[in-house]
Structure 1
């Protein structure tokens, strides 16, 4: 698989494009917004510069990585003659179904269609196409250039050959692919999201404060980041979406989102992306921290 198309230039999409391009693949990065494409490419450049400063890559590799990426705002042009499409759009079932239905109609019959969904059924997504045997899940972890794991999720009709080819491709990217079956939340989020939700419940019920909950999990359980801070980095809207998928899929109240999470998302407090979640990421807060260093 030499040529890859990545749909979505956001956090996950630009990270996936970065990794493929760094490993010698020709990458078509696709987004309906030129602004999003420009921002995604700027992020890739910044991450490469950081790697260059740490001497983990050479100037030549940085240049070849950027040269391997071409941006498109038109889906049909972006997916023409590629071997693999990796969809990394918003975690919304209707959006993904529409994308895969269109991909099926415009992609070459040899093209494998993958989704970076973190919770939605691969079988359901594949059903929107006439090639369900060539549809698979590639759930990369954030930040993609650093995290080693890729959950490989096969749908009901995904063939052994397609699964094996994606497993091998992931290894060539320097990743550790782990095959899992098609259940809501797969493995990573089936375990992670209830923990995050329970941390929010503890805050909601007044068991402890934000810092205290995160401190217990960091120092007591050796987690690198507390669950509430992690939720902020994932995006509270994304956490809510994944919990809703699992709740609808399992019909089990243990996956029901905490009312505090629902209210925060409704109020627009989404975490890092909005400047405020369980923690304050606003520019004014950053200024206070900087001023405090000189006090």
Structure 2
């Protein structure tokens, strides 16, 4: 299959890795040459880490990279996945450009919280759906498939079959604020931050409580650091606007983002990295 990934950051590189590891041809589209080089380096590094851990089924990373192209998408692409920042107009623009260039492709958004119906407005809505991968994409088992009223069920079925063919477990969710995973994950994350803010317990103890008491593989504050405090803040603000004050971001989160404490990517968040 010919697949296109728009945006080669952490999530885009992970999606490209996953597709390459399952023998698909992948085009990664970035804004400029510098970002294209960074995207290639990210995919290459990810594949080499997987090779070192024996996760590529005996194949070599460089063998798979032959199927990676940094260029405009081919007209006969079957899947386009955008992984650009959480901004509806930006996602509409990149998917709109892709829709014109790839007339038969499924147009998938990797958004974790934005309305798929809003993104689909002005686009061929029957081809637009949400395909929410989780970080790190090659490792995390879940794909959240989000459908709005205008999507063709056949395209949902194709997206599901593709995800399952790559070893993912799929849940299907109606288009609604935060879908299923972000809505629940952010609710717990915001409450954990409030508990730190109020001095209820340390970040480490809150996370240990959730890991040992509820069998979470990772605590909500470590997860916030991994996702990025700025990303979590944007999602929480969107959910608060849609669903009410129970999702209002705590002052501590806003202050940390203002100071540049964004989690793992900045070296400091609720933990030091």
Would the aligned equivalents of 2:75 and 2:103 in 1 still touch at CA under 8 Å? no
Determine the C-alpha separation between the residues in 2 that align with 1:43 and 1:175.
22
Among 247, 253, 256, the residue aligned to 1:255: 247
Indicate whether 1:277 and 2:269 are aligned: yes
Post-superposition Cα deviations, 1:187-227, rounded to whole Å, max 9, x if no partner, equal 11111001000000001111112222222222222222221
Post-superposition Cα deviations, 1:29-55, rounded to whole Å, max 9, x if no partner, equal 111133333333223223322322233
Structure 2 length-normalised TM: 0.94
Q: CA deviation at 1:61?
A: 4.7
Aligned residues: CA RMSD: 1.6
Partner of 1:62: 61
Q: CA deviation at 1:158?
A: 0.6
Judged with a 3 Å threshold, the aligned counterparts in structure 2 of structure 1 residues 253 and 260 are, in CA distance, closer, same or farther, namely same
Among 90, 103, 112, the residue aligned to 1:118: 112
Post-superposition Cα deviations, 1:210-254, rounded to whole Å, max 9, x if no partner, equal 22222222222222222111101000011011111211222x211
Give the paired residue count.
Answer: 273
Indicate whether 1:90 and 2:85 are aligned: yes
Would the aligned equivalents of 1:150 and 1:170 in 2 still touch at CA under 8 Å? yes
- What SS is found at the alignment partner of 2:111? coil
Post-superposition Cα deviations, 1:251-290, rounded to whole Å, max 9, x if no partner, equal x211111111112112221111112111122xxxxxxxxx
Post-superposition Cα deviations, 1:3-47, rounded to whole Å, max 9, x if no partner, equal 111001111000001111111111001111333333332232233
Indicate whether 1:222 and 2:199 are aligned: no
> Structure 1: any 5+ residue segments left out of the alignment?
282-295
Max Rg structure: 1
Determine the C-alpha separation between the residues in 1 that align with 2:267 and 2:34.
20
Determine the C-alpha separation between the residues in 2 that align with 1:47 and 1:108.
27
Would the aligned equivalents of 1:100 and 1:128 in 2 still touch at CA under 8 Å? no
Judged with a 3 Å threshold, the aligned counterparts in structure 2 of structure 1 residues 56 and 99 are, in CA distance, closer, same or farther, namely closer
Would the aligned equivalents of 1:21 and 1:68 in 2 still touch at CA under 8 Å? yes
Query: In the TM superposition, what are the counterparts of 1:205-216 in structure 2 within 5 Å?
Result: 205-216=198-209
